[in-house]
Amino acid sequence: MSRLSDTNIKLAHEIIVRYPRPKSALIPLLHLSQEQNGYITREAMQHLGELVGVTSAEVYGTASFYEMFKFEPVGKYLINICGTMSCALMGANELMHHAEKKLGVKAGGTTPDGVFTLAHAECQAACTEAPTLQVNYRYRLRVTPADLDRLIDNLRDGKLNDEFPPHGVLSKVRQSIDATRAVGAKAPEDVNESPAWLDGKAAL
């Protein structure tokens, strides 16, 4: 079952109509699909192609460009350890070695129980707080080996379920635009006039 569920199809349509062209919704829809299934399947790409009006090959073409989309199952928790310069200067390599030992897998690997995937990541925009890591794209900063041990134990014991939703979920809040407030998106060829407020007068 990797086509979008009925609830998610509704959400998908809400997202699609926000854009002047449906294909623009592709990346948000791929995220929605990954949220539902944990990774991106062939069937899912087929379905998303139907929804935005492109072939599944085009969907794969886009999806395969982006690092966050996974085409095989990954652990419930994806641990990305930053290894770019600021973090490397502050001990990121040592942290990675420690994580590999603690989890018993190499960077890129998933633990046999399917709970953790460990990965090397690039700069996470938290460079002053090095070394950094993300669990499902949520931060831990200035991480020591002891912090990492505790984090992994707590994740395994389910103590951090509130903070870290399973892999695939990004924002826990969705944009909602009330129909009475929305301007609505139009295809660019359907707009030929200058915006109403450019009449040389104040808008208020």
Partner 1 sequence: MSKTYVHAPGFVAGDRPKIVTSRFEFADSYTLERYLATDGYKGLRAALSRPANEIHEDVKSATVLGRGGAGFPAGTKWGLTPQQVWPRYLVVNGDESEPGTYKDRLLMERDPHQLIEGCLIACYAAGLSQCFLYIRGEMAVAQERVVTALNEAYVAGYIGKNILGSKFSVDIILHWGAGAYVVGEETALIESLEGNRGMPRLKPPFFPAANGLYGQPTIVNNVETLANLPWLLTHGVAAYTAIGTKTSPGTRMVAVSGHVKRPGVYEIINGTTTFRDLIYGEEFSGGIRNGNLLKAFVPGGGSAPWFTEDQLDLPFEASQVGPAGSMLGSGAVMVMDETTDIPAAALTLTHFYAHESCGKCTPCREGGTWLERILRRVVEGDGTDADLQQLLEVGAMICPGAFPHAANEKLGLTAVPFPYKMTTICFVGPSAYAPVHSALTLFRSEFEARVKKRVTIPVTAVAGVAANARVSA
Binding site for ligand FES (CB under 6 A): 82, 84-87, 123-124, 126-127, 130, 132
Q: Minimum Å distance from CB 170 to ligand FES?
A: 18
Of residues 158 and 184, the one with the C-beta less far from partner 1: 184
Q: Which residue has the tokens 């690092």?
A: 67
In the block, residue with structure tokens 């635009």: 177
Q: Which of 131, 143, 144, 136 is CA-nearest to residue 118?
A: 136
SS3 state at 34? helix
Selection from partner 1, ligand FES, none that 40 binds (CB < 5 to 8 A by kind) is none
Which among ligand FES, partner 1, none contacts residue 172 (Cβ within 5 to 8 A by kind)? partner 1
Q: What residue 188 binds from ligand FES, partner 1, none (CB within 5 to 8 A, per partner kind)? A: partner 1
Q: How far apart are CA 41 and CA 55, in angstroms?
A: 14
User: Tell me, what amino acid is at 64?
Assistant: S
Shortest Cβ 110–ligand FES spacing (Å): 23
The nearest distance, CB 92 to partner 1, in angstroms, is: 9
Min CB(12)–partner 1 separation in Å: 13
Q: Which does 171 bind (CB under 5 to 8 A by kind): partner 1, ligand FES, none?
A: partner 1
Query: What's the rounded Cα separation, in Å, for the pair 37 and 1?
Result: 8
Q: Min. distance of Cβ 125 from ligand FES in angstroms?
A: 6
User: Which value, in Å, is the radius of gyration of the alpha carbons in the chain?
Assistant: 21
Is 162 in a helix, a strand, or coil?
coil
CA distance 170 to 64: 19
Give 1 or 179: the residue with its C-beta nearer to partner 1: 179
